[in-house]
Amino acid sequence: MRGFVVVDLETTGLSSKDRIVELGLVRLDPDGKVVDNWETLVNPRRHIGASGIHGISARDVVGAPAFSDIADFIGSELNESVFVGHNASFDARFLARELSAAGALGAESIPYLDTLQLSKAYLDLPTRKLGDICEALGIINQLAHSALSDAMATAELLRYLLDRTPSRSHYSFSKAVTDTDSFCGYRFSDPVSRPVLFSRTDAKKAYDSLANGSWVTKAVAKRDVPDSDEVASYFKMLDDVFLDRRMSFQEQERILTYAAAHELSSKALQLMHANYLDSLLQAVYEDGVLTENERSTVSAIAKYLGLSISDEKIAEYASQTIPVTVACHALDECIDLFVGDRVCVTGPILHSREYWDGFFEAKGVKNAGIAKATKVLIAGDPDSSSGKTKKARQYGIPVIAESAVESILRFS
């Protein structure tokens, strides 16, 4: 055997239909010394689930690899090493299912060593939860329910057990080593290079890039000056994006796809964004009044578009009219709903499904599944890859954040 690999997973739930959303792996040599570690978020291509436990949202996994993209690498990392986990049957079962689905496992199960079982045998503690054991032994787990942090804590626990208890003589230890030595179920190409991984830190950097507008530099093409009809189409797209005053990663990808299809450069996008902001300011000052809400909205949209706008520049629009080719509707705040209309709520976070059922029922609006007649999809996380959000975008149904309901929907 090569040594040990300590694995921890975060998942969308606990059933056989659920998927892995984060994986942390710590490699130890046969003496229990840490020699490597890595982590990655995984895009489950479905509703994220269990965010209240692991703290991962749909927007975090948009840029993460699908499990099939990293299955080869995982198999090569696990090969000939003893699989270790705390309550390892859960992690081994989940991982075996995902590897099998990706064609990277030719066996029904993965042999494992369980630190939970060893803790029961050799630690005189009232509880066997990882957090409680770590606290009792002075092991620091910096971010519980984060896959790598939990895996690192489990690795420290394993080393404690190996160094300070007769764990190597326990029947489960010898069985895990024997079973691992004879196990040849992993299927992977050889050699395997490390794929591009995507951690929580990477997700935060990507979100910051989105929020401050630096995503614009991702557009690379040949032409700088778009035709006027392309400007009109692009402005309409931005209106739809900023309907709920935010930009999701999927909306960013939609914009970049448009830019690539029309061979627009980063410079062209920035010019269009500046013109769009001009139209926004013109719309704001149409009534001669600038409210604090309008000011904050303009500033937020400018930041998303990679622009900065000072109070002085905003003030310039109070005394002049700037001609703009295309009108801007991002400030209209209008999705009108009438009695009998249909909406859909998916993955609510702020309120329960029961709350939204009652909210819309009181206004004579039906909260149901996605259909072509649905007027709007309200998403707890608009970056969700759930079937409902995919179908809504396919049908051209507006997708808005749950937090924007009361400010955007208008009931008649």
Instruction: Let me know whether 94 and 143 are in one domain.
Output: yes
Instruction: Let me know whether 166 and 232 are in one domain.
Output: no
In sequence order, what are the beta bridge partners of 307?
none
Instruction: Let me know whether 146 and 36 are in one domain.
Output: yes
Question: What pLDDT does residue 326 have?
Answer: 43
Question: What pLDDT does residue 338 have?
Answer: 94
Instruction: Let me know whether 36 and 62 are in one domain.
Output: yes
Residue range of the domain that includes 90: 4-200
Question: What pLDDT does residue 374 have?
Answer: 96
230-237 average pLDDT score: 86
Instruction: Let me know whether 54 and 144 are in one domain.
Output: yes
Instruction: Let me know whether 301 and 344 are in one domain.
Output: no
Do residues 10 and 21 touch, judged by C-beta distance below 8 A?
yes
CATH of the domain at 30: 3.30.420.10
| Residue 280 to residue 301: CA distance in whole angstroms | 9
Count of alpha carbons within 13 Å of 408, Cβ hemisphere only?
22
Spatial CB neighbours of 70, under 8 Å, sequence gap ≥ 6: 23, 40, 42, 195, 197
Question: What pLDDT does residue 393 have?
Answer: 85
Alpha helix positions (H), 183-265: 200-211, 228-241, 249-261
Q: What is the DSSP string of 365-381?
A: -EE----TT--EEEESS
For residue 330, being part of any structural domain is answered with no
How does pLDDT run across 251-273, given as a tens digit for each residue?
Answer: 898 888 888 888 888 888 888 89
For residue 327, being part of any structural domain is answered with no
Q: Where is pLDDT greater, at 74 or 331?
A: 74
141-150, 257-266, 315-324, 396-405: least confident range: 315-324
Q: Where is pLDDT greater, at 237 or 4?
A: 4
Tokens of 331: 């400030």
Q: Pick the most confident of 105-114, 222-231, 320-329, 378-387.
A: 105-114
Single out the residue in 137, 170, 200 at which a domain terminates.
200
The number of domains in the chain is 3
CA distances from 52 to 16, 87, 181, 406 (A): 20, 21, 39, 24
pLDDT at 149 over 60: yes
Do residues 278 and 313 touch, judged by C-beta distance below 8 A?
no
Instruction: Count each helix (H run) and each strand (E run) in the chain, helices first.
Output: 17, 11
Question: What pLDDT does residue 313 have?
Answer: 67
* E strand or H helix at 25: strand 20-28
For residue 323, being part of any structural domain is answered with no
pLDDT at 173 over 90: yes
Instruction: Let me know whether 112 and 226 are in one domain.
Output: no
Q: Where is pLDDT greater, at 25 or 412?
A: 25
